[in-house]
Structure 1
Amino acid sequence: MKSGAGDDPFADIFEDDTQDDGQPADADSVEGGSTEESDVLDVSKNGSPDATDESAGKTDESSDEAEIPWIFRRDKVKADREKVHQLFVRPETDRTYRRFESDLEEAMDTDLSRLDVREAAYLVGMQHPEMVISLLESWGYNYFD
């Protein structure tokens, strides 16, 4: 076997976001219960998600550009998406997602980008932590002290 043949050729592309204990490096535990103001996302009127601490006081966008919805300002669907949040899901979650995406497209009467739908759902979940906590507890997280 050649030297390095077992190495992951993509290992240097994706940054490892876990600590030695397998937990995400920047994950807040549910017990902590506090969300710092700088971590809260603000979905502005044009629909572009901006971190509140980054958007405060910045005026590098012209007012005309800020009026144009995000999906029309970008060149491609991956524009402004530098971070990768890989998501592994169970089969029932995948089936539910596919119905969800189809229902959204039907309700909006347009084809939607899968990345846009996923990020929008992710952001809505972060805006409703009580619902996320309820689901996590139904999965058994309520048994941890």
Structure 2
Amino acid sequence: MSYEELAREIEKEGVELIESKFNSENIKGLYVDNIITVNSNISTEKEKKCILAEEIGHYYTSYGNILDQSKLENRKQERKARGWAYEKLVGIVDLINAFKYGVKNRYELSEYLNVTEEFIEEAIKYYKEKYGLYYQIDNYVVYFEPLAILERRE
């Protein structure tokens, strides 16, 4: 899925997408009142896609002003939105499909899924926290540390 495809998907939900230069380098995206703003200073398509996915995650999972991350409830909402983004762009089935395609390492996985390597690392950490060391689906076992996918033969 590309940045443009994500943008079209969220616009069908009635959410406006704007790209704008932010005064702060720390803020890469914001979601407020059915408007997602992505920092136009982001240099790569991959990073813009990851930021957009997280902001879409806020649309689906968050409420209120959660900018103050010193509050537990705000951190929980931030985690939920990021989890939504990880599952959207680096789903378990996506990992298996990458394995079937012949992807051998995180760099290749980043290229295959068109996301940043940092996003891959965070997604794997998220899955490890959610499922433990591994996850079984159909005839596959996805190990999160180290990242490996095994196909079970019966």
Pick the TM interval, shorter chain.
under 0.3
Relative to the length of structure 2, the TM-score reads 0.25
Q: Flag the structure with more relative contact order, 1 or 2, with Cα contacts below 8 A and sequence separation at least 6.
A: 2
Which structure's residues are more often strand, by fraction? 2
State the structure with more CA Rg. Answer: 1
